[in-house]
Amino acid sequence: KMYKFTRSSSKHKKKVSVDPNSGVISWGNGSLNLKHVISIHTGKKTKVLQKLNDKQAKPNKCFSLVLPRYTLDLQCENEETMKAWVKGLQALKIVLANKLDVMSLPISEDLKKQFADSYVDEDELLKVLDEKTEFIKHGRNGKPHSREVTVDRKKVTIDWTSGSNDLKEAYAVVRGKATKVLRKVSWRQADPALCFSILWEDRTLDLQAPTQRTRDRWAKALEILLSRESEAYRRHELMEGGASKSNLDVTPVSESASFDNEN
């Protein structure tokens, strides 16, 4: 467990885990993909951490993952753990980029064990998305409705009977009640353990699964699909020459994602 800092300067203890197959880092009801991380910094180098004094955030225990739109700022129990995590995450980025064997890397045995325990067959898990599954869809207005949700993996779209959207434009999948839509729903109406959301720049799709296992499998499968689609898009842009220097350069935003401000 680690402390996660928000841009409002509060911190919350979270169980942080890493999936070595997809590169997804999860903490409670949030997640990000390591493949999208621009850089990893030790100490207090982001705006989020620089606002805090050394008692609130100890420099020798902190590290940050910098993404294009926000940062993930964490504090470990001790300096040794922080260094082990940073080294492990840096190694995993190399693994994901070059498709190497993570177990052959010089990382701690604890991280190797976590990676081994987290192993899943990605291609097998993606088949979950081929099955029509009934969820409760929560919206900004009106009552929640039962919807049959399907994913077209070839077109990379998701359909929920009354609407559909392009998953190629989605940038994250978060578990729990992490969006404004779901925060308005009481625990009795929607157990956080059953909920997840798909995030786009202009909207969210907020779903409640019949079981936690269904929620976990769908969320994980969607993360894998989004990760693969992101890789395919970047390869296509580079091959076609469509990615100019201006849109390859990224300016880090040193703030936590807005959907997770209060968690």
pLDDT tens per residue, range 137-164: 999 887 899 999 999 999 999 999 889 9
Domain boundaries, the chain: 2-119, 123-238
Provide the mean pLDDT of the chain: 80
pLDDT in tens, 245-258: 333 222 233 333 33
pLDDT in tens, 166-194: 998 888 898 888 888 998 888 888 888 89
Question: What tokens appear for 232 in the block?
Answer: 């395919």
E strands, the chain, are 2-5, 11-14, 16-19, 24-27, 30-33, 39-42, 62-66, 71-75, 133-138, 145-152, 157-159, 164-166, 172-175, 195-199, 204-208
Q: What CATH fold (topology level) applies to the domain 123-238?
A: PH-domain like (2.30.29)
pLDDT at 4 over 50: yes
Q: What CATH fold (topology level) applies to the domain 2-119?
A: PH-domain like (2.30.29)
| CA–CA separation, 204 and 172 (whole Å) | 10
pLDDT in tens, 200-243: 988 999 999 999 989 989 998 998 898 887 655 444 444 444 43
Matching fold, domains 2-119 and 123-238: yes
pLDDT at 117 over 60: no
pLDDT for position 99: 59
61: helix, coil or strand?
helix
Percent of the chain with pLDDT over 70: 78
pLDDT for position 32: 83
pLDDT for position 105: 56
84: helix, coil or strand?
helix
pLDDT at 196 over 90: yes
pLDDT in tens, 119-130: 567 888 899 999
| CA–CA separation, 186 and 189 (whole Å) | 5
pLDDT for position 97: 73
